Amino acid sequence: MYSRPPSAVFGFHGCDEAVGRAVIYGETQLRPSQNDFDWLGHGVYFWENAPHRAWQFACEQQRRGMVKKPFVVGAILDLGECMDLLDIHHHEALKNAFKLYNALFPGQLENMANKGGKDRVLRYLDCTVFEHMHAGMDEISPIDSVRCAFEEGEPSFPGSGILDKTHIQICIRHTHCIKGYFRPLRYDGTPMEFGD
C-alpha cells in the first residue's frame, strides 16, 4: 500500500550536452544503463531533487572522457511500484534475493565484491543481486523503480558524519515512469547555468 511514492518526483540526470538537448527536444530518450556495476541494477539513473549533484557527476564523466560538454536534464518521474530502500520493509526482499542467488549458484558471489575506493563506486555484487531479484519478480510483481540513499564523499567538515556527496539515487527500470523532460531553471525562471 505504501510502496507508491507521491505522484511526481523531480530527478536530474547528468550527461553530455548533445544528448541532453536531444532528450529535451524529444529527438531521443535517455537509455537505460546496463553496466555490470550499476548501483541499483539496470535502468535510467537520476539524482533526486539534486541538479547540482547531477552536474558534478557530468563533470566527473567529462574528466573520464565519457562526456564532451557537461549538461543536466531534469525529469518528472512517477516511481510507480517503487522498491524504496529508505523504508526498511524493502530490505527483506533484497536479503532474500542474495540468499536465493547463493543457493542457486553456490560460491559465485564469494569472489564478487563492490570495488572502487571507500565509496565503492563499482557495485558488482549489488548489481548482480538486484538483477537476480528483478528477474524473479518481473513475471509476478514487477518493480518500476528503485530508490536508495547513499553516503558518499568526504566529511563536510572535520569530524563530521555528514559526507559531501550524500544523495538519493533513483533507478527507473521501466521508462513509462518518465513523464517528461525539462531544462532546470533558477528561481528567477532563467535556465540554470552550471559551472559559472
**How far apart are the C-alpha atoms of 81 and 141, rounded to whole Å?**
9
Cα separation, 36 vs 131, whole angstroms: 9
Question: Would 94 be classed as within a structural domain?
Answer: no
Q: Is residue 61 part of a domain?
A: yes
d(CA 116, CA 183): 31
pLDDT digits (tens, 9 = 90+) for 158-183: 999 998 989 999 999 999 999 999 99
Q: Is residue 164 part of a domain?
A: yes
Measured between alpha carbons, how far is 155 from 166 in angstroms, rounded to an integer? 10
Whether residue 107 lies inside any domain: the answer is no
> How many domains are there within the chain?
1
Tens-place pLDDT, residues 121-152? 788 889 999 998 888 776 778 899 999 999 98
Q: Is residue 108 part of a domain?
A: no
Domain range enclosing 171:
9-88+142-182
Whether residue 24 lies inside any domain: the answer is yes
Q: pLDDT tens digits, residue range 49-63?
A: 999 999 999 999 999
Q: What is the pLDDT of residue 122?
A: 81
**193 is a domain residue:** no
**Residue 63 placed within a domain:** yes
